[in-house]
Amino acid sequence: MNKYVIKFSHVEESKYTAIVEAESYEKAMDIFEESPFDYLEDEEPDSVQGQAFHVSKVTEDGEVVYEKSKELIVEYR
């Protein structure tokens, strides 16, 4: 039997509602980005979506047999 080392991350998506008072959208986003959890409507998440696993690297005897990076892209609307 071969021994494989599997590096992975466990992701759980939680959705929250934040309420920020500001003079404009740009200022509201600046305030929110500095400390998003300071503006939560409730402490608990609105919902928790399913769980996902992301395998980033697998090695066999120190040799990489699989590797994939994950790029996070964020859009504000």
Cβ–Cβ under 8 Å, residues 60 and 3: yes
Which tens digit of pLDDT belongs to each residue from 52-73?
677 788 888 888 888 886 566 6
With a CB cutoff of 8 Å and minimum separation 6, the contacts of 68 are: 55, 56, 57
Residue 8 counted as domain residue? yes
Residue 74 counted as domain residue? no
pLDDT tops 90 at residue 22: yes
55 strand-pairing partners: 8
Q: What is the structure's pLDDT at 46?
A: 76
Residue 73 counted as domain residue? no
Range of the domain at 49: 4-67
Question: Does the pTM exceed 0.85?
Answer: no
Residue 53 counted as domain residue? yes
Residue 30 counted as domain residue? yes
Residue 61 counted as domain residue? yes
Number of domains in the chain: 1
Residue 77 counted as domain residue? no
Residue 48 counted as domain residue? yes
